[in-house]
Structure 1
Amino acid sequence: MFELYKERDLSANISDTVTFFKSFGKHFFKNFFIINGIFLMILMVLIYFISKIYMEVLFSGANNLNNNPNYFSNYISENITLVVGGFITAIIVIAILSMLNITFPIVYLKLFEKENNTNFSTPDITKELKKNIGKMFVFLLGITCIIMPLAFIVFGILVVLCFILIGFPLFIIIGIAFFSWVMLSYHDYILNDVGFFKALSNGYYLLKLKFWTIVGTTFLMLMLIQIIQGIITIIPYLFTIGSMLVSTQDGSSQTDNYSTFGIVMAVIMVLSVLISYIFNNFIVINQGLIYYSLHEDTENFTTNNQIDLIGTEIE
């Protein structure tokens, strides 16, 4: 049986994440696509057309740059409604989908803890998500308006420090610690009846308990996910570049090559974003296991449950 409340070191945090998806991945992703599918489809269509239009404008601009140096600015001015409308729509969909995508694994683990298995359905998950819509909005607003401005100041200083040797490792460590702090705070905010600032305080406290273990685990998970995503997306990209080179040598028209390249790049962009949202679940589940592990360290849920079971058996 998979245990959420369990003391974990760095290797256990990663191995248990893999074990979780091996055991429950089918049930997890079935519900993930049912709940997030509509927003994912809308976002994929938006990204495809925006990417395709951008590539067409880019190649057209490159061909007409000598005749019309202001091609790009003129195109934007002539299509300002389309550009602004597409940008705003994409931002709204990305915000909604991102909050759903981050909250879904947290709610899933909450129901998993409650049932001690996967005997819960899509409506159960949807019900929990609906209960937390207000919290999603408040947390997004709080992070955007309060935490992010402070983060820009801190990371701006770290960027300056990158010009000396100590700046680069500090940038990585603090960046990962900041990410884990926000994720642990959001877990606490969704799972418990606490306010925004109390959740941030609790997240900071949890982060300090096993700072280096959390930073190390998060760094390895992020690197692993980035490598896998990079391998998946680089293959069609290299294939497209190779095809264009062969087509050029065969005497194919440059316009046709650019058109094909634009379509393929748009598809690659869609694939990249879709994969990013899918693999984001691994990162959030990993942070969730860290969260439950830290609570086991501080509150000994497993030991208390075993004592309760002994009392039940005596009765």
Structure 2
Amino acid sequence: MFELYKERNLSDNLSDTITFFKTFGKHFFKNFFIINGIFLMILMVLIYFISKIYTEVLFSNANNFANNPNYLSNFISENIFLVLGGFITAIILIAILSMLNITFPIVYLKLFEKEHHTNFSTQEIINELKKNIGKMIAFLFGTAFVIVPLAFIIFGVLILLCFILIGIPLVFIAIIGFSSWIMLSYHDYILNDVGFFKALSNGYYLLKLKFWTIVGTTFLMMMLVQIIQGIITIVPYMFMMGSMFVSSQNAGSQAENFSTLGILMTVIMVLSVVLSYIFNNFIVINQGLIYYSLHEDTQNYTTNNQIDLIGTDVE
């Protein structure tokens, strides 16, 4: 049986994440696409049209740029309502999908902890998500008005330190540590009856317990995800490069070549966005296992449960 509450080192965090998806991946992603599918499709269509319009303006009107350097700004001014409407809609959809995408794995692990199996239904997951809508919104605003300004201050100082070289590794470590701190805090915020700032405090405390193990695990998981995404997206990218080469050799019009290139770039953009949302589940689950592992280290859930079970089979 897969254990959430378990002491884990760096290799355990990685191997258990992979084991989790090998064991429960089918049930996990089936529910993920049922719940997030509609938002993903809407976002895909929106990104497709925005990217298509942008690439058409950029490539199909290349001659206009040569004759008029302000062509792009003029195009935006003439279509300001369309541009703003698309931008605002995209921001809202991205915010909704991002919060659902991050919260879904947390709620999934919560139900797994409660039921000790994955026989729970899609409706149970939806009900848990509904219960946490207020927390999702609160954390989103807290991130925008508290965490983001704090990040600007911290990384601004570290960037200044880059001029004396010591800041370069510090920025790298800080980005990973900061990301893990936010994720641990969000887990605590969703799973427990705590306020926003208390969750941030608890997340910081958990991060300090095994800082280097957490940073190392998070870095390796992010790298693994990026490598897999890169391998998948490199196929259409290579196809695009080949198409550019062929187009440059044939006698087709420049407009047709740019149009083909624009479509390929749009497809790659849409694919990259969708893959980032799908593979983000691996990072969140990995952070969730770290969260449960840290609580096992501090509160000994497994030992306490075993003590509670002593004598339960005695008639």
TM-score, with structure 2 as normaliser: 0.98
2:158–2:171 Cα contact (<8 Å) kept = yes
Alignment of 1:136-147 (within 5 A): 136-147=136-147
Deviation at 1:96, TM superposition (A): 0.2
2:173–2:215 Cα contact (<8 Å) kept = yes
Where does structure 1 lack aligned partners over 5 or more consecutive residues?
A: none
Aligned to 2:63: 63
Give distance in 2, aligned partners of 1:256 and 1:102.
41
Give distance in 2, aligned partners of 1:101 and 1:158.
30
Aligned to 2:184: 184
- How many residues align structurally? 315
1:61–1:72 Cα contact (<8 Å) kept = no
Deviation at 1:240, TM superposition (A): 1.1
Deviations 1:142-178 (A, max 9, x none): 0110111011111111122222221111001111111
Alignment of 1:1-315 (within 5 A): 1-315=1-315
Give distance in 2, aligned partners of 1:23 and 1:274.
23
Give distance in 2, aligned partners of 1:47 and 1:164.
40
Give distance in 1, aligned partners of 2:197 and 2:247.
58
Percent identity over paired residues: 80
Alignment RMSD:
0.9
Give distance in 2, aligned partners of 1:5 and 1:251.
65
Q: Secondary structure at the match of 2:164?
A: coil
Give distance in 1, aligned partners of 2:178 and 2:311.
42
Where does structure 2 lack aligned partners over 5 or more consecutive residues?
A: none
Deviation at 1:243, TM superposition (A): 1.6
Give distance in 2, aligned partners of 1:197 and 1:171.
24
Give distance in 1, aligned partners of 2:205 and 2:69.
56
AA partner of residue 299 (structure 2): E
Change in CA separation of 1:260 and 1:60 when aligned onto 2, cut-off 3 Å: closer
Deviations 1:188-242 (A, max 9, x none): 0000011101101110110010000000000101111111111211221121111
Q: Secondary structure at the match of 1:147?
A: helix
Deviations 1:66-124 (A, max 9, x none): 32221011100000000000000000000000000000000000000000010100000
1:43–1:94 Cα contact (<8 Å) kept = yes
Deviations 1:49-79 (A, max 9, x none): 0011111111144221232221011100000
Give distance in 1, aligned partners of 2:66 and 2:271.
34
2:185–2:201 Cα contact (<8 Å) kept = yes
2:185–2:202 Cα contact (<8 Å) kept = yes
Give distance in 2, aligned partners of 1:307 and 1:242.
64
Give distance in 2, aligned partners of 1:187 and 1:206.
11
Give distance in 1, aligned partners of 2:205 and 2:273.
33
Deviation at 1:265, TM superposition (A): 0.8
TM-score, with structure 1 as normaliser: 0.98
